[in-house]
Structure 1
Amino acid sequence: MPEKDSPRLQRAEAKRDPTEWHGHRIVTETDLGAVFEAEDDARPHRVSARRVRHGIVLVLLLGLLAAAVYAALALARGDISLGALGASDASPAPTSNCPAGPFDYQDPSAITVNVYNSTPIDGLAGTAAEQLRGRAFAVKDIGNLEVGPTGMTAIIVSGEGGRANAFTVQRTIPESIYVADEREDKSVDVILGSSYKDLVPPEAVDTTPAGLTCAPEEGAATPTPTAP
């Protein structure tokens, strides 16, 4: 066996190589420098990616803040309403409760009534308004409204404070039904249907205290204003 391949010669060379010890590689300062240099080269890329993510998050937060400020300003100006869209001041969104009363018959001259026509019959609201004025009711608005039911006589609409007034109007209009809404005043809406013909004769009006007559729950009317 050649001298250079002998185990004794290999051990002698290993002793002369400072990077090996008992056949194992010793990590040197040069090796560590190469590793950390590679990590240093990769660090700018990680920092750049982190900055990009932070920038995206900041842009999203600013967008949400701007949207919140815009919505707040729109609410303050009245451009956006949290109530039922499409409802007018005359006819807020109705509710389904039917007040049992009893309610006393009121003086018609103290009751403000708005009269609306839900049919294609021309002049129906004007005719009914004149009839109500003839009974001393204070008619304010006259116009058109759309409602769910068809073929009914009339729908009487009021808020909680106007229930007694609504009772008085209902006793004046035959076969009318009551729908409650959330208005705060005591005004009453009369929404006429195609079955409306006339008021109850003055001598036949029942002034006995009682409750209101409402539509069945599944058929409750939902007035929706339209252009006159």
Structure 2
Amino acid sequence: MGGKYRITGNRYPRMRKPRRRGRLVFLAAASVAVVGVIGWGTWQLIDVFTGGSKASAAEAGGDCSTKASPAASPSPTNAARALPKPGQITVNVLNATPRSGLAKQTADELKKRGFRIGQVGNASEEFDKKVKGAGLLLGPASSLNTSLPVLATQLAGAESRADTRKGTDVDLIIGTGFKALTQPAAADEALTALTAPRPEPTTPKRGC
């Protein structure tokens, strides 16, 4: 080099890159962490596929697959419904159609099926020729879940409705769509289904 400053001697300064020891340490730590995460995940997969949860359950209280479950105790959901028998229900049979003699004919048939018969005659002006279906079943509010469902088994398609009456008597008002009472065999089958116990749905235990 020329000028004022000159380099003398036979040795020259050498330029070296700074050592990156900090970066190497960081990479090593990160590698260890990744290996650890991979190992933990692999262990979890092995535990799942080899039934580790079942083994834990067996250690805690026995293997549920080989242990018989206790019998279910009776509950309101599977107990038989407490409904009145036909002989405990008094039915007023009222004719709301132009066909004469229909109320007595229907009342006689209901009597043969065990029902108690009250009033028999024509329907009041409120319902006369105004019931379009097979019939209308009327009773106090308490009868909606007691007497009326039992009576409804004898006349398919009849509407059930509550009114403000006193007492326990119920009305069967024959509508213009009435043809006949339900056949005795079908009515008995419907009554049996109505009073039969309702099985409680079973839910399998988790882990079994």
TM-score range, shorter chain: 0.3 to 0.5
More helix by share: 1
TM-score, normalised to structure 2, is 0.48
TM-score, normalised to structure 1, is 0.44
